Chain A
Amino acid sequence: MRRLRAYAFAFGAMLGVATGRGRRKRIVPEGPKAPAAELWVVALLLLSAVFAVGFIVVYATGHWPNRTQFEGIALGGSLAFMAAALIVIGKRLVVTEELTEDYPEQEHLREQVEVSQIVRESGSRFTRKRLMQGAAGAAASALGLAFLAPVLSLGPALDTDELRWSPWARGKRLVSEDGNPLKASEIEENTFYTAYPEHSSRNDIAAPVVIVRLSPQALKLPRARRGWAPQGILAYSKICTHAGCAIALYRKPTFPPIEPTPALVCPCHYSTFDPATGGSVLFGPAGRPLPQLPLAIDGAGHLRAAGNFSGPVGPSWWGVRKKPAIRPKGLE
């Protein structure tokens, strides 16, 4: 019974507010009614519901062509109609009076003073502040380092020699993508080939090499590399020395006036390397020549490595020019 009376009271109060007869002054001004806008909102909300149901239907009815497009239209449409309904509400159905108020206080000077006072006064019993600060600093930094130490398990950060690893060595045969040993007689001019070391992991930036054939007269290799290109066949690391992308483009001179020489080009930042001169940089950002792999042709006519790369493979780091490429320990 008491409850009922409470409800009745609340209802009366609501009516009172709604009709402006209440004892309380309104906070939100009343504003004119807009029945047409209400109808628009109802229509838009119903359309939104129709599209949402449409999405469920599209989703449920299995595989048909262009399903993703219909899903997008249905879900996007439902959201768009609901957005439109809310915008109509915002523009036409709620009061949007502009009010003014003061910006909040810029500074609380009393509290600022009190905070610093509390902090300062709380330390009044300490007499050896410097010493305490030093000890606390030592403990905090040592503990911090202790927590950081296990981070070194993430990788061989203290041994950058791993960056020089290369699976190549004297005598390794060069195999093609499908694993067959490459024959010198298969290598033609004006195109390029990708090769890997036989019986080694290929998922390693030091593994892939590009092979091109130039006419032996066109070669201008450094003196120390005279024998590295039998019959004019050259092998270079396929990984750009700029940022580690694969050298996937071979520019054979189709129009000699502007492209005088063949070149190996990286499609990421267009570092351009000259295969005739030992991989020197012709254009683009790379700072080091492409590492060259010395080649030999064995009795069966197969291409073999005659040694390791002329330098470490891949992008430069602090010590890249200090030592040559190495074979990791534990490999045959």
Chain B
Amino acid sequence: MIRRVVGFLDSRSGGAPFIRATLRYLFPDHWSFLLGEVALYAFAVLLATGIYLTFFFHPSLADTVYHGSYAPLQGQKMSEAYKSVVDISFRVKAGLLIRQTHHWAADVFMAAIVLHLMRIFFTGAFRKPRELTYVVGVLLLFTTLLEGYLGYSMVDDLLSGMGLAIGYGVALSIPFIGGNLALLIWGAPFPGDPSFESRMYIAHVLLLPALIATLIVVHLVLVASRHHTQFRRPQRGAGDRRLLGVPMFPAQVPRSLGLMLGVAALLFFLGGLIQINPIWLWGPYHVAQGTNGAQPDWYLGWLIGALRLVPSFDVTIGGYTVVPNPFWGGALFPLVVLAVLLGWPWIERRISGDRGFHNALDRPRDAPGRTAFGAALLSWVFLIFFAGSADRIYLFLGWSYEAQIWIYRGLVFVLPIVVFLITRRVCRELQQIDAVDRRREAGEAETRTAGVSASRA
């Protein structure tokens, strides 16, 4: 039977050699290699739940009045978009489960991408011949960020409106062209033309998902064509030249499918049991309204922190506002992080002078400079992320908000340098411990052989 199916397909597509090779494609066996797969499967859940949600969501800012089952909103004026999401939450059977799972999946997707990126960065997996795979991955991270932002923005609840206002402020702040650009995107001064909702919608459900899917395909094709990296295991022959791993079929497939279903299970548990973005509590958006303690989804926290840390100034020359304030935290900061991440393979190559092919991974300690730089960058971004929660700290612990911000403003310059120096030192110490271990083992082996030969004599 199997033979017949294969025969049918092969004689019509010529695919048997390809399938034969694919079945025995080797996957190195290490848990950290699954992080990228977690991201992939979260994306699959996002697609499936997202398609379901489009069957019920109205991308329209037309005014309507709520007459549904949720009493506190009864009789309130709101947009069609917001009302349809309240209806998905309360009227559509299983709608709330799917909506919350979709939201959780976005948060998990971003987290998995970031962890995957950290694995790639700290083990040097981005080096030649995999720079393109890495660049596509970094672009995926930033495309996904925008996709997530649009997703919660088009709901038109109070929180999403505040997020859009900030996005509008950041767009306006781009030097020279900000005003023109913001008017082009929004169609009118904020809150914009009613067609802005359709623009967000088509970007969120078609343009960006198509881009993300394309980037994922390119990413995976590039991974497969150069094969996976691996940690060195000299005693088994795994190094820069030979790859050691389990074949795709039968070994990897059940593990990977198990992981997929496990990720989906986790997301549905989260979506069913842990409330996320209860938009009926936020209420519909109006430009004159704001809420205290508004926090975005976690993956935008670093931008909120950056926007809050910049002191009060606009750069003005001759009456023109050359650099409005939100540009620093909202545009320049993420662009600098993006540029550093994209350029890192070439920056590192410049510094180290290493232009060779690398299939075997570094342990982080074995590349102290890279590890220290990565730790510094990570601590910098996360410090700014935590600065975004200073208002919550003020609320819970009573520490003065202004004082906290001043401390963060100082730490932003000091902490990365300190982290860099400490990490580099720790890596070097660990390397020395390894060297001592190797010498001791070599010495012990020598003593043993010497002892053996002595006893023989």
Contact = CB atoms under 8 A, between A and B. Distances in A.
A72 B273 contact: yes
Interface string A138-161: 000000000000011011111110
Interface string A169-207: 000000000000000000000000010100000111111
A100 interface: yes
Interface string B231-249: 0000011101111111100
A80 B261 contact: yes
A238 B288 contact: yes
A13 B20 CA distance: 20
B402 A244 contact: no
Contacts of A156: 183, 188
Contacts, number: 303
A270 B313 contact: no
A196 B289 CA distance: 13
A316 B324 contact: yes
B287 A246 contact: yes
A287 B323 CA distance: 10
A59 interface: yes
Interface in B184-199: 184-191, 193, 199
Contacts of A315: 168-169, 172-173, 324, 326
A205 B190 contact: yes
A248 B242 contact: no
Interface residues of B, number: 108
Nearest to B182: A317
B345 interface: no
Given A95-B251, A155-B188, A203-B286, A80 B262 contact: yes
B453 interface: no
Contact of B329 (A85, A158, A196, A285): A285
A140 to B, nearest CB: 23
B288 A75 contact: no
B262 A83 contact: yes
Contact of A94 (B176, B189, B190, B254): B254
A242 B322 CA distance: 15
Interface residues of A, number: 92
Contact of B172 (A94, A271, A316): A316
20 contacts: A59-B93, A76-B266, A86-B254, A90-B254, A91-B255, A96-B251, A100-B244, A101-B26, A152-B184, A154-B185, A155-B187, A202-B288, A243-B169, A244-B169, A246-B162, A246-B165, A270-B401, A286-B312, A287-B324, A318-B176
Interface of B: 3, 24, 26, 29, 93-94, 96-97, 100-101, 129, 162, 165-166, 168-170, 172-173, 175-191, 193, 199, 225-227, 236-238, 240-247, 250-251, 253-255, 257-262, 264-273, 286-294, 304, 307-314, 316, 319-322, 324-326, 329-330, 357, 359, 391, 400-402, 405
Given A72-B97, A72-B271, 20 more contacts: A27-B24, A79-B268, A83-B262, A85-B258, A87-B262, A94-B250, A154-B184, A155-B184, A155-B188, A155-B193, A206-B189, A207-B288, A242-B326, A268-B162, A268-B304, A287-B313, A315-B172, A315-B173, A317-B173, A318-B324
